[in-house]
Amino acid sequence: GNFESAFGSGEIKEGSVTGSKLKANVTFNFQGQPLELALNGSVSDSELKGVLVPQMEGLPELAFSGIRG
């Protein structure tokens, strides 16, 4: 699948859903350089939330959320 954000876009790889939990790896284009992110989240009713964890030392985790509808 694809990943879109205000910072750029990427490709979602190796995703899985177990119950309400989701996990995936995202390859993201950050300032012209590929950056690997681990996506960890959960789904409940109409809400999706979680955290993107950069696989590069020194970069902070990024929280995300979304609402259907």
pLDDT in tens, 38-60: 999 999 989 999 999 998 888 89
Q: How far apart are CA 43 and CA 20, in angstroms?
A: 5
pTM of this structure: 0.79
Element containing residue 62 per DSSP (H, E):
strand 62-67
Report pLDDT digits (tens) over 3-21: 787 777 889 988 999 999 9
54 forms bridges with which residues in the sheet?
37
Per-residue tokens: 45: 């009713």
The SS3 assignment for 1 reads coil
The two three-digit tokens of residue 26, written as one number: 């995202």
